[in-house]
Structures are given as structure tokens and as C-alpha cells.
Amino acid sequence: MAAEPGASHIPWMDQVSVAGSTGNQHHAEPSGHAAPLRDHVVREPPRRILVADDHPDNIQLLRARLEARGYIIESAVDGEDALERIYESPPDLILLDVMMPKVDGMEVLRRLKADRTLPFIPIILQTALDSSEHMIQGLDAGADDYIAKPINFRELEARVKSLLRIKALQMDLAARERELSEANDRLLAVSRIDGLTGVDNRRYLEERLHEMWGHAQRLHEPLAVVMCDIDHFKRVNDRYGHQAGDVVLKQFSQLLQDAAREIDRVGRYGGEEFMLLLPGTVLDSAVTFAERVRQDVEHHTFTFDDGELRRTMSCGVAAWPHPRISNQDALIKAADDALYVAKETGRNRVIRFDSTEFNEHTASTEEDDEVPR
């Protein structure tokens, strides 16, 4: 085959070098300078191009020309063959003939561009010289470029190089977007999680309560809140140090998480006080749950580097629907007031906010707070 005019000019040689040619280069290199530079060259793997054409002569001609430029050439003889090869191992670029048996090039093009599971694959449509209609249809269907037959190989090389640059930029952009998304996910997690215990922090817990309250209101489903507190926690820090106190908080939060269901939320409300959100849970069931957790904590031995200790917990429980609760703030206050009563009446106990014990203690406290006229 006769050499194409201009085929050995510098642009072709540049492409060979970039694509990773192993041919000898007869250039004088100043001693002590060229070799270190060569050591730092990062060579990208050769690009894979799929040539889909039902004429073997066309495939062989394109293979010879493109492989000489360092590309890896794969071939398909019809549309079905092309689709199978693409889904098996997506190439970096596709040279797609319009007129092919079984599945024509237009249909292959439409299927590939409609499939969001595939990566971006530039497609150059090969059309007959006088087939402007095919060219327009192909571009409308999503082809990234076209080239007319008979093919001008210098033009083809320029189009291939241009589209591969675009693909590289797209891949780089996608990688940066993934990195940004992952960074945002990490920041979001940090903004929602208590740094010490790993459970929800107060802000995120209140956001979830807002969502659960709205859901409960719409569907008329119950929603319970349990406020709990480690009894005499200050003594742990005073006697064993804050590091031991941190260990106790971590183990305590783990006990709460182990007892909770997947749909429940466990969070640190502040200091040694924790809050649990129990969607779909009536007041009696929430009290039963809190009592079970209280027993788990009472029988648990907290261990740390310098020793071990036992602690108890106090709980306050409230739930909606209830005549005394009209909004989510009232729900939290009711559970918090019940926790206060549990602390005031001896600790290591569960108090429901509408119990006789709660009402009597609250009434007596109000009487004590009255100022004589």
C-alpha cells in the first residue's frame, strides 16, 4: 500500500511518541540531561479503539493506520458483535459504521447513549461522502463526531485525538466530582455525629425528631421519647479522671445502641444525658423499653485502663398522642421533666411523665415554690 502524502511528517511522529512507541529515536542528547528527564516521564496506557464495520478490508486498513500510532485496535463485524464487545469491556473510543447487518450503526448509537451505566465513550460515526442525512441523524442521536468515507487519515487522527482529550477531561472531572462528593459526605457525617460516642449529636437528633413528628402527625402513628442520664457521673470524672469518664460514655452509648431498633435514633443530648427517639411506639411500650435498658446498665461493668466500675441510669419517658402534648417541644419537655423527677426521687428508675408518682412530685414541687403573700 502506498504511503499517504505527509504521513511521516512531525505530527505523526508526535502521536507515535505520545502513544508509547518503542521505535528508536535518532536524536542527539546532551550527556547528563536527557536520561534523568526520561526517568520522570509518566506514560499512559495505550488507548483502546473499537472499529465496527462489516467490511474486513476497511477494518484492516484502519487497524494498520491506528496501530502504527500506538492505539490498541479491536474490531466488530456487525452491530450485535459491537454491543457485546462494548458491554464486555468498554473501549476508549468507537469508530462506528452506519450500514451494518443485524443491528445498524444508528441503533447501536442510540442504545449506547441511552445507557447511563456505561462510561462516556466518544463515538465517531463513519458515513458515506454524500450521506449528509445519516450524518445529521447520527449527531441528533448522540454521535460525538463524524467522518466521511473515503477516510482522510490525517483528519481521522485529529478527530480521534480531540475526542480522547475530551474523554480524559471528562474522566478527570468525574473523579474530582467523586472526591468532592465524598468530602461533602464526610463533612455531613461530622456535622451529625457526636465526636466522642459516635451517636447522633443534639442538632441532628432534633432534626430527626422534627421529621418523625411530622410523619407521626400525618399518619396518626405514636412517637415516644426517652431521656436518660448516667447517675452520679461527675464522681467518675472526679475519682478516675476524664479519660475514664469518656470510656464510660462510649460504653454507655453502645448499650443504648444495642437495645435500640434499626428505626430508632440514639443521640447524645448533652454531657451525660442521652435521648432516644422511638417511632411507632406507644407510651407503655416505651416505658418497658426504658426499664429493660436501665437493667442492662445496672448489670453492666464499665471497664477502662485503670480499673472498672458500676453505674446506674435514670430515665424519663413521654409519648404522643397525649392530651398534654401538642407539639414536639412539649414532647421533649415532658420526657425531660420525667427524667428530673427520676433523679429527684432516688435515681436508678424510669418515670413516665403522666404517672401518679410524676404528678405528685410535680405538685409538691410547685407548692414548695409558691411564695407567701
Residue among 190, 195, 291 at smallest CA distance from 249: 195
Q: Contact at 8 Å (CB) between 112 and 93?
A: no
pLDDT in tens, 109-144: 999 999 999 999 999 999 875 667 777 888 888 899
Q: How far is CA 181 from CA 119, 169, 172, 188, 193, in A?
A: 18, 18, 14, 10, 18
Give the C-alpha separation, 136 to 22, whole Å: 40
> pLDDT tens digits, residue range 46-91?
999 999 999 999 999 999 999 999 999 999 999 999 999 999 999 9
Residue 272 known to be catalytic: yes
For 291, the grid coordinates are: 426499664
Helix (H) or strand (E) holding 93: strand 93-97
17-30: average pLDDT: 38
Q: Which three cell numbers stand for residue 226?
A: 426517652
Q: What is the per-residue pLDDT for 131?
A: 66
pLDDT per position as a tens digit, 269-319: 999 999 999 999 999 999 999 999 999 999 999 999 878 999 999 999 999
Q: Is 158 exposed, middle or buried (0-12, 13-18, 19+ CB in 10 A)?
A: middle
3-state secondary structure of 191: helix
Band (pLDDT 50/70/90 cuts) for residue 17 is very low
Has residue 370 got a pLDDT over 80?
no
Which residues are within 8 A (CB) of 35 and not within 5 positions of it... i.e. 6 or more apart? 29
Distances (CA, A) of 188 to 64, 288, 320: 53, 34, 30
Beta bridge pairs of residue 267: 200, 275
Q: Residue 21's pLDDT band (boundaries 50, 70, 90)?
A: very low
pLDDT tens, position by position, 341-367: 999 999 999 999 999 999 988 888 766
pTM over cut 0.75: no
Question: End-to-end alpha-carbon separation of the chain, Å?
Answer: 117
Give the range with max mean pLDDT: 7-11, 35-39, 186-190, 242-246. 242-246
What pLDDT band is residue 6 in, cutting at 50, 70 and 90? very low
Cβ neighbors of 310 (< 8 A, separation 6 or more) are 298, 300, 301, 302
- For residue 75, what are the β-bridge partners? 51
Q: Which of 211, 221, 272, 360 is catalytic?
A: 272
| pLDDT digit string, tens, across residues 136-164 | 888 888 899 989 888 899 999 999 999 99
